[in-house]
Structure 1
Amino acid sequence: MSDNSDADDAPTDHTATDGETNVVAGWHGRYFEDFEVGDVYKHPFGRTVTETDNVWMTNVTMNLNPMHFNEAYAAQTEFGERLVDGTFVIALAVGMSVIDVSVNATANLGYDRIRHHAPVFHGDTIFAESEVIAKRESDSRDHVGIVTTELRAFNQEGTKVLSMERTPMVLKRSHAEPSAEQPPGWPEGVGTQGGE
C-alpha cells in the first residue's frame, strides 16, 4: 500500500520572519490522484452512540418500528433492548469517512451493497475504515475522477456492524488549487492570511 501523505506539498519552513504570520497548511483531504486501489484508511476517532442519537434519528425520519423507541416492546424481543436505527449507523459511518474519502468530493454517486452485520445498541462505540476498491477517470468531467471504497464499521469489541460501497466524484488536485490560506470550504480572504 502506498503512502499518500501530502508531505511534499506542505510548507517545510515553519519560521515566520520580520513579525509576519506563517500560515501552515493543514489536512486538505485527498484528491483523486491520492487514491490507490488496496489502500485502507482507518478514520480518526470512534464515536459512542447515545440514546439521544437514536431517539432523534427515529423521530426525525418517522421510523415507526417500536424496536427503536419502545423499551417495553424491545425488552420482549431476542435482543432484550432497543436497537439503534440502522440509518443512523449508515450516516455515522459515512460521516466518519468524509475526512479521508470525500472532503474534496463534488458529488456522491452511490451507496451500494449496504449490509448490517450486527446490531448496534446505546453505548456502543463505532469505528470506521475505508478500503479503495476502484478508481477511474470521469467520462464526462475532466476536473474529477470516480473513486469507490468499501466502508466498514465496527463496534468497540471489533464486531463488524456495517459494510457498504461508497462512490464519490473527487476533485483532481490540479483543479482544486489548495493553499494554506484557503483550505477546502473556506472563502477567499477569511481568517489569518500569510504575512499579516
Structure 2
Amino acid sequence: MFSAVAIRSRAPARTRASSCTPRRVYLRRRRNGSRSGHSTRRFDVARWFPSTFRMREGYDAVRHLTDSDGRPTPRCMAEESSSRRIVERGRYYEDFNVGDVYRHHWGRTLTDGEAQLFATATMSAVPLYFNKLHAQALGHPTPPVHPLLVMNVVFGMTVEDLSEQAIAHLGYWSMRFPAWVYPGDTLISSSEVLDKRESGSKPDRGIVHVRTTGKNQRGEEVCVYERKILVKKRSSHGGR
C-alpha cells in the first residue's frame, strides 16, 4: 500500500535550473519482510503516472510556480505576468471594409424542445408553432420553428465577427424569411459589409452597415436582414 507522499525533490537545491522548476512528487510503498520490519521503495509519480502529473499541456509553465517551501515566488509571479499578452476579441471600425464577407463558424441545429419552449416563453399563442395537428392541417409536416427564434440564432452566430466591439445596434431593416425552418434543421450564416462611415457627432466610433443571410443545411435562405452597428474605433479605445 502507499503510505506517504513526499513533495520535495531529492536533488540538491543548487542543482535545480530555477526555483520555478516543478517539484517532483514521490510515493513511498511499505513492503514487509525486511529485517527492520519495513522497508520503503520510492516511486516517481511523474515517471509512472505522467498523465496524472501533467494534467494538461502547459502544466509545467503554469502550475507549481513555487519555491522549495511550496510558496509562490515573486520572481516567478512577475515572469508569468510579464509573459502574458492580452488579446482583444472582436473587430473595430477600422477592421471592416466594404465588400467583405464573413462566413460565421459553428452552425446550429434547432430542436423541437427549444422551438416549443421559445413559443411558450414568448407567449406566441399561434397554434402553428406548438400544435402538430393544426400545423399539418396547414400543410406542414410538423410545427415549424418560430421565425424570431430563427432570426436570433442566425444573429447570434454573427456576434463574434461583427459586434463584440459594438457600442449599440442602431436598427434592423428588410428582414424576411424566405423558407420555413423545422426542428432538426441546421442553420449557418454569413454577413456582407454594405457600407461604413464615421459617426458625425462622436469621432471615437463609426457605423457599419451589414447584410446577414441565414441558410439551412440544403443551402436554402431562411432568414435575411440588414442592420447597422455602432462600433468603437481602435485608435480611440486603445485596441491592439
Residue 111 of structure 2 corresponds to residue 50 of structure 1:
yes
1:129 equivalent in structure 2: 190
Counterpart in the other structure of 2:177: 116
Rounded Cα–Cα distance in structure 2 between residues aligned with 1:153 and 1:142? 33
Tell me the CA shift for residue 174 of structure 1: 1.6
Counterpart position of 1:99: 160
Q: Which residue of 2 aligns with 1:165?
A: 226
CA deviations over 1:12-57 (Å, ceiling 9, x no partner): xxx99x8533324445111000100100000110100111221121
User: Which residue identity lines up with residue 237 of structure 2 in the other structure?
Assistant: A
Q: CA 1:118–1:106 in structure 2 vs 1: closer, same or farther (change >3 Å)? A: same
Q: Which residue pairs with 2:137 in the alignment?
A: 76
Distance 1:43 1:23 in 2: 28
Alignment of 1:89 onto 2:150: yes
Q: Distance in 1 between matches of 2:233 and 2:197?
A: 12
Q: Given the alignment of the two structures, is residue 40 of structure 1 paired with residue 101 of structure 2, yes or no?
A: yes
SS of the residue 1:67 aligns to: helix
In the alignment, does 2:239 pair up with 1:178? yes
1:147 is aligned, of 201, 208, 212, to 208
Deviation at 1:122, TM superposition (A): 0.2
Aligned-partner residue type, residue 168 of structure 1: I
Shift of residue 62, structure 1, vs aligned partner: 0.8
TM-score by length of 1: 0.78
Contact kept? 1:28, 1:178, Cα under 8 Å: no
| Aligned residue number for residue 64 of structure 1 | 125
The whole-number CA distance in structure 2 between the counterparts of 1:97 and 1:66 is 30
Per-residue deviation, 1:142: 1.3
C-alpha spacing 1:76/1:27, structure 2 compared with 1 (3 Å) = farther
Distance in 2, matches of 1:30 and 1:156, equals: 28
Amino acid at match of 1:110: G
Contact 2:88 2:239 in 1 (8 A): no
Q: How far apart are the structure 1 equivalents of 2:100 and 2:227? A: 15
CA distance in 2, matches of 1:148, 1:38: 11
Aligned pair in 2 of structure 1 residues 108, 157: CA closer, same or farther (>3 Å)?
A: same
Q: One-letter code of the match for 1:175?
A: S
Larger Rg: 2
Poorly superposed stretches of 4+, deviation over 6 Å? none
* Length-normalised TM-score, structure 2: 0.65
Give unpaired runs (5+ residues) of structure 2.
1-60, 63-74
TM superposition shift of 1:84 = 0.3
| Unpaired segments ≥5 residues, structure 1 | 1-14, 180-196
